């Protein structure tokens, strides 16, 4: 079936132009000033057509924690937020550390996901041969303990992994926090039971120490290295400096909406609902991160969509798990930032569409071009909508931005030529 998007304005080649788009078998086959006739025609008058977002960092919790999220609910949440491609993390139960586990997980996702996807494998001290024999875009390194506890911070093994990454071409994605630093801080605050201590445990120093180690290794080896969910001014400075030296062109990083739009003052109101790893820190860190998203030094915005049940989040600080859901609120928050003049649309499109496609080698995605996948988002940039917990598709049913008015509403998402919304 052919689908025509007529009378709209589309984000193409870094600018907005009035155009019409024809889709056939999930691909964009024509882009023209002339209107198209098709089996289904959508009048896009007053709408902006954007490429579908690529979220390179989600936790859809399969297998082992389907009560928190699964591929059905997670991919519906993604569509609701204008995300048409996701990359799912390996700290499941069991963890994705073997080729067999990877393929079993892939088969589950294929049956129930509404969006395109790929999967990470986690690096461990004894699975490098499994990684070598799998076809991977990215391998996840948990340098600091987090949900799933797949700790990997042996320097010799890390060196082996980086050499393998250079040989095979995959991206090493690092959760960069120093475990010893975190454990020392946990002892200091063991008698406190308040979510506001989280940034005092998972500190700027913990992040910077881990980033220094992996950057030093990458400098010598020259593999593709991506720092996940960067959260601190010092960590950011280290990455920016690394980009200028030997092999620096292969160093990239991402930031999450919670680190971009929230600071540590939010713990008072939201408590464990913004407890995440790495921690949300003081305003000076948020400001620095926001400035470098705007400049492009932080290439990607991704969600680290990490849902938990309400009951789990309502426990006391030490028992409550870390993680914030965000796959359906990322693009709306960024579009609101465009409307309020805080970010240019060009930079947002680079951060959630173009650079994720380029860095993680997603062919035919991230751009509106002839021959590319028909992954598109129809947006009314003038419409104001209210984020509500009860209207979310994620099983978590909460967002730190519950009750927030945003300007720029997603009217429909098209994934692989299929229209949702």
- Is 304 known to be catalytic? yes
Task: Please list, in sequence order, all residues whose beta carbon lies within 8 angstroms of the beta carbon of residue 3, skipping any fewer than 6 positions away.
Answer: 22, 23, 24, 38, 39, 40, 41, 42, 374, 414, 417, 419
Q: How far is CA 20 from CA 9, 34, 84, 193, in A?
A: 8, 7, 20, 57
Sheet of 225-227, strands arranged across: 121-122, 138-142, 171-175, 225-227, 251-255, 300-301
- The DSSP code sequence of 83-99 is EEEEEE-S-SSS-S-SH
Q: Considering 118, 304, 373, 375, which one is annotated as catalytic?
A: 304
Tokens of 268: 């008072």
Residue positions counted in the chain: 421
Phi, psi (degrees; rounded to nearest 5) at 213 = -65, -50
Q: How many CA atoms lie within 13 A of 277 on its CB side?
A: 21
Q: What's the half-sphere exposure (Cβ side, CA atoms, 13 Å) at 254?
A: 31
In the chain, how many H helices and how many E strands? 15, 17
C-alpha–C-alpha distance, residues 200 and 217, integer Å: 28
Report the SS3 class of residue 66: coil
Dist CA 91 CA 147 (whole Å): 7
For 173, the 3-state DSSP assignment is strand
CA-angle at 222, arms to 364 and 355, nearest 5°: 25
E strand or H helix at 14, and its extent?
Answer: none
Residues annotated as catalytic (active site), given as ranges = 304
């Amino acid at each position: 079936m052919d689908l025509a998007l007529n009378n709209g304005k589309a984000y193409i080649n870094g600018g907005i132009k009035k155009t019409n788009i024809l889709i056939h078998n999930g691909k964009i086959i024509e882009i023209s000033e002339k209107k198209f006739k098709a089996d289904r025609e959508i009048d896009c008058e007053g709408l902006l057509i954007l490429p579908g977002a690529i979220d390179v960092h989600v936790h859809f919790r399969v297998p082992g924690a389907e009560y928190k999220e699964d591929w059905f609910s997670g991919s519906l949440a993604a569509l609701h937020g204008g995300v048409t491609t996701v990359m799912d993390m390996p700290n499941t139960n069991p963890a994705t550390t073997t080729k067999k586990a990877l393929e079993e997980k892939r088969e589950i996702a294929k049956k129930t996901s509404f969006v395109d996807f790929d999967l990470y494998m986690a690096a461990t001290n004894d699975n490098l041969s499994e990684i070598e024999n799998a076809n991977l875009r990215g391998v996840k390194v948990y340098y600091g303990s987090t949900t799933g506890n797949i700790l990997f911070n042996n320097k010799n093994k890390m060196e082996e992994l980086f050499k393998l990454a250079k040989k095979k071409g995959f991206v090493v994605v690092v959760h960069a926090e120093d475990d010893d630093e975190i454990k020392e801080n946990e002892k200091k605050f063991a008698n406190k039971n308040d979510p506001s201590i989280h940034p005092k445990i998972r500190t700027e120093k913990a992040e910077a120490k881990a980033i220094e180690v992996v950057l030093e290794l990458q400098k010598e080896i020259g593999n593709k290295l991506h720092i996940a969910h960067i959260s601190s001014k010092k960590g950011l400075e280290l990455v920016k400096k690394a980009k200028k030296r030997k092999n620096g062109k292969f160093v990239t990083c991402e930031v999450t909406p919670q680190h971009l739009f929230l600071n540590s003052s939010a713990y008072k109101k939201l408590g464990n609902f913004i407890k995440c790893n790495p921690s949300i820190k003081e305003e000076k860190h948020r400001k620095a991160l926001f400035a470098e998203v705007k400049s492009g030094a932080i290439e990607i915005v991704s969600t680290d969509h990490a849902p938990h049940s309400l009951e789990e989040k309502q426990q006391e600080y030490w028992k409550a798990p870390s993680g914030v859901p965000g796959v359906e609120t990322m693009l709306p928050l960024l579009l609101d930032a465009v409307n309020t003049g805080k970010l240019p649309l060009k930079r947002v499109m680079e951060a959630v569409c173009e650079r994720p496609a380029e860095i993680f080698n997603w062919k035919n995605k991230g751009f509106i071009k002839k021959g590319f996948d028909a992954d598109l988002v129809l947006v009314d940039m003038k419409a104001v909508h209210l984020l509500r917990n009860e209207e979310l598709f994620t099983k978590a049913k909460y967002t730190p931005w519950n009750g927030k008015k945003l300007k720029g509403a997603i009217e429909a998402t098209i994934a692989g030529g299929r229209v949702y919304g």
